[in-house]
Amino acid sequence: MQDILVDQNIIITEPCKTLRTLGRNALAGKWKTSIIAVCIYILVLQLPVAVFDALFGRNIGSIMTNNGYTYGMDADFYANFYNNMPQTSILSSVYVLLIAGAMQLGLTLFFLATFRKHDVQPVDMFLGFEKFGKALGLYLYMSLFIFLWTLLFIVPGIIAAFRYSQAFFVLADDPDKGIRQCMDESKAMMKGNKGKYFLLSLSFIGWGLLSTIPAGIVESIGSTVSDNSFVIALFSIIGALFVAPLIAYMYSTFSGFYEILAGHLIKETMPVPVTAEEARQQYEEIHALTEGEAQNSQKEETDKTDDKDQQNE
């Protein structure tokens, strides 16, 4: 699948449509399992947060309020605004911080295995906890780097997120690699590919807008039927489950993206190139073989034409 190899770095030139097709093909016959796995991912991350916020959370407005000061707003308006702000707790923040890395590694392991046609089960989502410490370290390290770049305005932060987007795939592919090594390999892989990654992400925007319609409807129903923050959070989580098919589709596609970058996804009969020189040799061999087949085909057509002319004579 790779088209260009520059300084042993694969540059992806495949159209986004082709990359998305790879993702859909990998999910063939596994949509149900994949969607269930994503639903587990969403529930594990969001449901305990809703419980912690309901039991121990404080209204964000109360945290920001200073001796009843309304920040220049009308008192009634501010009171209504204040009462409708969500509750949050330190416990929920700590929970997400601790568990997000392992869950992201588990999700990556699941879809990488799915793309490679391995047998997977939804519970495989929890395999990331086998490398809990390394997953946590990678998540914190990535978050720190992206945050620091974001301080230079938003765009550098987005570029940093793209630069390190393959780090969890590298770790999933070889759990023995160190945190910094995963970051460095992701940075090397994405050299010259950040634009393609951005366009590929952008190509899902239509599906994203479509999937948010039922999610938004469910959240609106929750806000209508109850003023309780926990009930609203539950409806929000249920709404998020409608996005699960899109997440599965995107992760499967990005798994194929990684496979190309890593040199694992290539045309049949072509071994994985180890060096740029070997890649050139393989290209020359295939080119020579193609030219030979074309010449043989042309010779056969010429012979057939000569036979017809002789018969006509």
DSSP 224-245: HH---HHHHHHHHHHHHHTTHH
The single residue listed with the structure tokens 């071994």 is 271
What is the predicted pLDDT for the residue at 219? Answer: 84
Q: Whole-angstrom Cα distance, residue 116 to residue 295?
A: 37
> Closest by alpha carbon to 214, among 245, 193, 183, 185?
245
- pLDDT at 307 > cutoff 90: no
Mean pLDDT computed over 88-116: 93
CA distance 285 to 303: 27
| pLDDT computed for residue 288 by the predictor | 59
Which pLDDT band, with edges at 50, 70 and 90, does 57 fall under? confident
Residue 107's pLDDT is 96
User: Which stretch of 34-43, 253-262, 264-273, 293-302 has the lowest confidence by average pLDDT?
Assistant: 264-273
Helix (H) or strand (E) holding 10: strand 9-11
pLDDT value of residue 108: 96
Of the candidate ranges 34-43, 125-134, 177-186, 211-220, the one whose mean pLDDT is the lowest: 211-220
pLDDT (0 to 100) of residue 109: 96
Mean pLDDT of the chain: 82
pLDDT tens-digit profile of 184-210? 999 999 999 999 999 999 999 999 999
- The dihedrals phi and psi of 232, each to the nearest 5 degrees, come to -60, -40
Question: What's the pLDDT score for residue 140?
Answer: 95
Q: List, in order, residues 6 or more apart from 281 with CB less than 8 Å away.
A: none
pLDDT mean over 56-67: 61
Q: Which two structure tokens, joined as six digits, stand for 206?
A: 């239509």
Six token digits for residue 55: 């039991």
Task: List, in sequence order, every residue forming a beta bridge with 248; answer none if it has no partner.
Answer: none
Residue 70 has pLDDT above 70, yes or no: no
What percentage of the chain has pLDDT greater than the value 90? 53
The domain locations on the chain are: 13-266
Residues 6+ apart with CB under 8 A from 235: 218, 219, 221, 222, 223, 225
